[in-house]
Every structure is written in C-alpha cells, then in structure tokens.
Chains A and B, each alone.
Chain A
Amino acid sequence: MTYPFFPLPDDQRPDFKSIAGKYKAPEKHAQLLVIGAGPAGIAAAIEGARAGVTVMLVDEHPISPALMGMDVPFQFGGRMDGSVQNQERMLEQVLGSNEELALAFELGVEIELSTYAWGAWIEAPGLHSLPCPIVGLANESRSWLVSFDRLVLATGARDLNLSFEGSDQPGVMGAQALHALLIRYDAFAGRRLVVIGSDELALKTALLAIARGLEVAAIIEAHSEPAGPADLLAALAAKGVELITRHVPLKARGNAEGVTGLTISAVDGSGTSREIACDTVCLALGVVPVVELLDVLGLKPVLDATRGGWIGKAGADGATDAPQIYVAGDCAGLGGDAVAQGKAASLAALRSLGREVEASSAAPAPAGPDVLAYRSFWMRTMLATGGRDVLACVCEEVTRGELLGVQPPRYLGWRWNAMGRRDLGTLAKDGPLNQDQVKRLTRACMGQCQARRCREQVAMLLEIESGAEAGSVPLAGYRAPVRPLPLATLADMEEHPDMGPGWDVWFGIPTQWIHFKDIGTEREREQLGENVHL
C-alpha cells in the first residue's frame, strides 16, 4: 500500500463528511439575547431596549401541559387544573400577571413566550465549527436557531425534590411550581397543603397559599428549630398554622386523584407517626439555581453552599469567563437583588458592545445559611426513617437501596452473583465517586424528567453513604436539549444544502469498511468509499 490510500480532496479542502461549513445562518439575530423573563431577565431586556440594541427575551412560560405533566421545569406534581390546557388563556394570564413584561414589550423588546432555550453554544475547545454564537429555541411544534452578540442568562431556580414513599403520585409538588401555578397561571388544583421545610422559602410559600385562600394544614421541619425568620413564623402562628418540628414525611396516601393524606414520622427513632389529611404536599426545602445552559456552554458552575449550591460563576456585573455570556438573578446565586443584577449584567454587556452606558454593578447576593448542610440533614433523616425501598429516581424506578448498592436496573433481571459483591463502597475504593458514573451503572438520573427530580437527592445519598462531604460529589453534567422535546420538533427540516449530500453514517473514510482480504487488491480500488457501515 502506498500513500495516499484513497483519492484525496482537491486543494486540501476540508473533509466533506465533516461539519466544516455546514451550519446554516441562524433564523434571527439579537444583539442582546436574554433567557428567562423573571425579574432579572426583564430588567436586563429593558436596559438593552433603552440603549437601543435589538433585544430578544425568551421564556418558557406558559409551559405546555405535556411538559408540566413531566414535572418540567418545575415539580408541578399534577396539581394544575384544567385551565392549563387552554394555551391562549394561559398566555393572557402569564402576560397579565406581569406588568414589567408589558413595559419591555412597549420598549420594543421582542418577546418569545412558551419558548424553550434548549441549548447555547459559543466557540470553545472541541467546537470550532460554529459560525457564530448560537442559542437553540423551540416551542412544542418547531425548533430554530438564533444568533447573538451578548447573552444574559437569567434562568432562575427550579424545585428541589426529596422523595418518600408515595411521593411519586399527584399532589406532591415543589414550591416553585406552586408559586407559578398560583401567581403566573392562577391554575392550582389543590385546597389543603402540608408544607415541607421551614426556612424563608417554606414560610413564604405557606403565607402565599393562605393569602390565596388555601388551607395550610401544617409545616414540617426535621430539625428541632424552624429555620426561617421570626416575623414570618409569627405571621403563620397568628393564622393558626401548626409547625411540627423533629418530623419528616414518611408516606403519602392517596387515591386515583392523588394524595389524600400524609404520614409524618418522628425523627427521634421512637417510630411514632402522625396522620395529616391534605391533598397537596409542597416540598419547600430549597430551590436549585438553573445552571444547565451554562454547563452546556462549557462554563462550569461553581459550588457556593451559602447561595444555593451550584451556581453560575460571575463577577458583580454578571460577567462570566466567556466574554459573550452574562448571568443574573437566582441562577447566579440565591438571595440577591434580581432586578439590580439583571440591570447590571445588561449594562456590562452593553458596555462590552461599545455602548456608552453608565457603569453599574449589583452587590453580590449576601451569604445566606448553608443550604447544603440543611438539605443534607433532611436527606439523612429521611433515609433513616424511610429506609432503602423508597425511590431515589422516579423515572427509572431506582430505589435508594439499588442506587447505593450500585446495582444494575431491575429490568435486566441479572442472575449472576458477582454483582452482589459490588456496592458504593467498592466503587469508592477505586477513586472519588462520580455521579455520572453511578448514573451509567444504575440509571438513576437517566430519565425523562432529565434528573430534575433526583439529581440533588442522588448526589446527597452518594455523599451520605460514602461519608463524603456535602457538595463533594461533582455535579452531574447537563447536555442539550435541556428541555425534553419531541423528535419532530427538534428535527431540522431546512438544513444547509451540504448537510444531506455530505451525511455519512460514520466517518466516510473510503478505506475503512473494505474487507481485510481485499486490502491491496484490485477489489479494494473497486469498492473504495462504497462500503456499508453495519
């Protein structure tokens, strides 16, 4: 055999089977693209519009009922009422509940609601083929790409879930979901709630529910003292809401419509329990900053236990390590002034585009309590009281015991007993635990909710079982699409003209699939490039 092994392209042109030159121009361009229309994102968009750049503001609400049913992006727990089926009504409702959004619209911001940002890319190591920075958008019927000069991620926070027996039935939901259903959607189907947790989030959630005419049966706290501020506690006490400390949920009872009651268990080991009638259990043990797009962009989130856990890494003006990308609001750390941060990030982005705007920065979120310690205590207590048969991952039906035993999924029906000698301990001996590795073995976190309901609790269980410090197991990675979207929606039906002709199952190397006995014979020349990849 002599070089070349097959005919080479003319003029050393890039391999036609590679991605080089195959991106179509994005559908639209925004000088400033903002993801998330909460207080931070709206403030950012408004600043941009005032400075005269083209601004697009994207938010996924109102969410399609299909995604709500999958607990995406919040843990809705099936407690939305029938009105969410009416998308037009929902759109009106979401707009009507938000005056600032109307202002942004008047200022000329292009607002895309019911639109998911499912991916974001800039030129990065291993990715030099992009023609420009790109965000992937979609609604339930189609997907498209937009390009941007500057991107502000103001993606907020989602729910934190800790499961217990029966918590996979309708009626067990998260505080963010409840907040959204009450305020943005006016579409909450429950009447009588038990609120789990007692920090500021939980107490505000309970007060909000009461203000909306709902009944709060009890607030449950695992610690011996409530975690939230005294004034909120006093306000709840004045409303006659019972605070039950040193207890955790043990089991939700229910019928076809979902939860009808909650059994709580004392954490003192006495085994005493109590029944509380309710139709909704609202988990308010914390919220999780939404850092998925940052991770997709290659901007690794950082751990800050006093600001909500894994958060976007940024300076006081929201600038990240990538010059095109800014973060603001809850996704950059809980507890800050979202509006001030949104404004500061936008102004910094505008300045970097050469616009003459005032210099501005927002005070970083003040350090709050250690959320990891708080959550970890809860997890530990729920593991001790609820045991190992409780599901750790709902989608994939992996119990805590199976997770910690690092056992293959049940549907494999594995018969050999070598596996029985393996567990988290043997795995940990071979190197620091990695959530993605455990995921591959057990399938915990591999499900259709994209691990929104289990990511944090699985990490905590791994840490507790292996005696590792809270937060020490590295964050399981995020990948596009960061919302679960139908094949037909994601499908690009208007590709670059070279995409089809240049498509190959594999690399398209003309010699790769030649039978070894034909190599160096006349038969090889005849078959070059014609072989089928099996």
Chain B
Amino acid sequence: MSGNGASVIIIGGGVTGLSAAWWLAREGVDVLVLEKGIVGWEASGRNGGGCTHYMSPLFEEEQRLWPQMDELLGYPTEYQRERIIFSVDSTQVTFYRRMIQGKMPPQFKWDELDARQVREAVPLAGDNAAGGVHLHFGGHANPQRTVQAYAFALQDLGGRILQHTAVTGLESEGGKIKAVLTTRGRFACDQLVVAAGPQCGGLLAMVGVDLPMAPARAEMIVTEPLPLMPLGGVDGNGLYGRQTLRGNLAYGGGPHEWLENVPAEGEPPRPSTPVLRNLARRLYELFPKAAHVRVIRSWAGVIENTPDGRPVLERLGSPENVTVATMSSVGFGLSPATGHAIRDLVMDGQCGFADLSTLKLDRFKDVPADWRRRQGWYQPGAEAGLELAA
C-alpha cells in the first residue's frame, strides 16, 4: 500500500512490535510501526533482560533464536548464554530442583550446584550460599541495546518507524480495520498488529474487543561496575537480574504497585521508590562480597498483566485483519520468537512452529467486570476506574 499508510501497521514500538515488524520486513512486507514516544521507552527498555521462559510454547524458538540475534540483526544485543540461580536458603534450593526436574525438554541440560560449587562459579557469593542450579541454556541480553537493534535492523530493511505518534482511534469497515487515526494523521492499512503493551486493552476496546488487563509498576537497581564474573547471568534470593558486560549489577524483584490505568497519550508515570532499600538488602545477601559496591541508580517500568499472567497472542476472528500481542510481563526474552509468531499470524493466519492455543483471548470470556478487585490487583486509595478496566 502506498501513500499515507502501509500494508501492515504495528501499534507499539516495544520489543514485541519491533520484532514483529522486523520479521515482516525480512519478508519484504511494507510495514510501519507507530510509537507514541521513543522506541523501547517503556517496559521493553527497562526490564531485567532475562531470556529463559520455559513455560511458554515459544520457549524452544526463544532458545533457538537468541544465540543468532546479534548476527541476524547486525547490531549488538549483548546476549549472553546460560544462567546460574542460587539461594542463601536451603529450602529454596530444594524448591528450585523440584521445579526444574521434569520440566525442561531433554535437549536443555542443567546441573545442580552445592554451596562450594556456587562459590567457585560465582566470585561474589559468600559463606551463606546454600546451593543452586546451573542452566546450560537460557541467558540474558541488554534490553536497551536490543530494542534499538530491532529498530535499526528494521529500518535497514526498509521498514518505517514513526516515533512520537500516538494512535487515538481505529477506523473499521466490513469487519476489518481500514485505518488508524493518530496524533499525526490517518494511516491506512491492510492488516493491523496491536502490540501496545499495557495499552492493548484500551485500543481493542475501541473496536468492541474485550481484553482484560491490569498495569503495574516494578522497579530495579543498578550498581557501579565490578570485575566481570565468569558468568553474568546469576541471580536468586528473590531477585532476577544479571551482571552487565560492563560489570554493573542490575537486579529487580519484590513488590509491584498496581496502577489504576495507563494514560492513553503521553508517558505513563513510573517513579522508583524506597523499595530500592529492600532490593539492596537482597542483593547484598546474595552477593556479600559486593557489600561495599555502590548503587548508582534505580528505575521503574510499567508492565502489562492479563488475569492469568499469560500472554495473548492471536489473530482475531473479528476484526479479522487484527493480530493482538500482549505478553503479560514476560515479553522481553520471548520477543525474537513472538515476532516470528506474529509474522506467521499476519502472513499465514496461523503460527507455523508453535501451538498458541493456550494464548487465545477467549479464555477470558467469563472474567467478571470486577476481576481486578476480586484478585486484589489494586492499590488501596487508587481504585478509580478499576472496574472499567475490565
């Protein structure tokens, strides 16, 4: 499609939308990403960078793709293989083992580590290390670099990104979306991908599709750089995170704050809070040898969640030219695979490499309007619009 529009329009320039656009552009599809701010400015550029989603139907594709992403994109993602998860509490170690046993497909190997092995593998671990697991798969990447890598690679293939362009309306005709209305005009499309993170629900509501979602804020801290550990992907003790290739410890975890809603336009508020002390405590317990290391910053991101905490990834029946992708708080690591799946859904109508039947929207058809209150997914004192969000 020429003129003011594109064959495929993607709403949202986070990892999900950008990966999808990149996969489509590789097929020569004329694709346009509309992003209300800067690419990757929301959760996609603020997360822990973990790439190990064993529970997902996209897991094997996630694991297959990550080691190739630097080369495929032509820009660095800082992807690093493997993970160590250890605990300072022996009951947790037993728990790790029990949970991993029998869960991983046989090609994904892992070892158990005793306390001594943990201390050998993790120079910052201390005498309190109780044991852990070493996964010879999975890994982590730098979210900010990855987002930009997708965006650059997409542009290199002729795909377009319009930043600072918020979608404000959807124009439909004959059971299809014909165009999207934005703060910078109308853009016609043959197909639409809604990959707007926490805003997916609000956008779909414009065409009468009900996608219950609750946004929340979660935060992380980062320290000054330290000498590199042999393996950067080390976490545990209630934290997720990694040592970056520069040497900083970047970790998150713990309590989130449920938000009433996310604004339709402009940036969502995402303050980081005194919770950084609780994060600092757990990081200090995990790495006693880093006690003296200085925390230099904290940050927060706004995250999408569906009522069961699982993604919605589906080509809708009506409007039939719309594909929805909201990742329910585990979307960074899966993004190479999610983009591939969206490419399939858009071009072939179905995913050719994974069974996405558990990620369909219709599982929420019986979710009551007051589901957030029932699930306790609200912050007392900030409950306006809660029911409406369903």
Q: Which residues of A contact B293 (CB under 8 A)?
A: 486-487
A169 within 8 Å of B (CB atoms): no
Bound-complex Cα distance A519 to B311 (A): 13
Q: What residues of B have a CB within 8 angstroms of the CB of A490 in the complex?
A: 276-277, 280-281, 295
Do A128 and B374 form a contact, CB below 8 Å, given A145-B274, A408-B76, A490-B276? no
Q: Name which residue of chain A comes closest to B366, CB basis.
A: A3
Q: Chain A contacts of B225 at CB under 8 A?
A: 448
User: Are A126 and B269 in touch, CB under 8 angstroms?
Assistant: yes
Which residues on A sit within 8 Å (CB–CB) of B109? none
Q: How many A-B residue contacts, CB cutoff 8 Å?
A: 267
A127 beta carbon closer than 8 Å to chain B: yes
The residues in A between 122 and 146 inclusive whose CB is less than 8 angstroms from any CB of B are: 124-130, 134, 136, 143, 145
Would you call B275 and A19 a contact (CB within 8 A)? yes
Contact of B45 with A509 in the complex, beta carbons under 8 Å: no
**Interface assignment of B264: CB less than 8 Å from any CB of chain A:** no
Are A129 and B257 interface neighbours, CB within 8 A? yes
A485 to B355, CA, bound (A): 48
Are A8's CB and B298's CB within 8 A?
Answer: no
Whole-angstrom CA separation of A19 from B378 in the bound complex: 10
Chain B CB within 8 A of A256 CB: no
Are A440 and B148 in touch, CB under 8 angstroms?
Answer: yes
Bin chain B's interface residue count: 35 or more
Which of B51-59, B115-123, B203-211, B340-348 makes up part of the contact surface? B51-59
A515 touches B55 (CB 8 A): yes
Minimum CB–CB distance for A446 against chain B, Å: 8
Query: Which residue from B57, B216, B278 sits with its C-beta under 8 Å from A516?
Result: B57
Are A506 and B55 interface neighbours, CB within 8 A? no
Closest to B356 in A: A516
Q: How far is the CA of A492 from the CA of B255 in the complex (A)?
A: 14
- Cβ–Cβ contact A16 & B376, under 8 A: yes
Distance in angstroms from A113 CB to nearest chain B CB is 21
Partner of A441, one of B145, B287, B299, B330: B145
Q: Which of A239-256 contact B (CB under 8 A)?
A: none
Q: Knowing A15-B258, A20-B380, A485-B295 touch, does A125 contact B269 (C-beta < 8 A)?
A: yes
* Surface stretch bound by B, among A85-93, A192-200, A334-342, A413-421: A413-421
Q: Is B268 an interface residue (CB 8 A)?
A: yes
**Closest residue of chain B to A440, judged by CB?**
B144
Instruction: Point out which of A9, A21, A126, A481 has the most chain B C-beta atoms below 10 A from its C-beta.
Output: A126
Residues of B within 8 A of A119 (CB): 274, 276
B280 touches A418 (CB 8 A): no
CB distance from A398 to the nearest CB of B (A): 11
10 CB-based A-B contacts, threshold 8 Å: A14-B258, A17-B256, A143-B277, A412-B76, A412-B245, A447-B296, A484-B294, A499-B278, A509-B305, A514-B55
Beyond the given pairs A9-B375, A19-B379, A432-B164, 11 more chain A to chain B contacts, judged by CB atoms under 8 angstroms and listed by A's residue number, are: A3-B371, A15-B258, A17-B255, A19-B256, A23-B274, A126-B269, A145-B274, A419-B76, A487-B292, A503-B278, A512-B309
Give residues in A with beta carbon < 8 Å to B. 1-6, 8-9, 12-23, 119, 121, 124-130, 134, 136, 143, 145, 296, 298, 396, 408-409, 411-412, 414, 416, 418-419, 422, 430-432, 434, 437, 440-441, 443, 447-448, 450, 479-481, 484-488, 490-493, 495, 499, 502-507, 509, 511-516, 519-520, 530-534
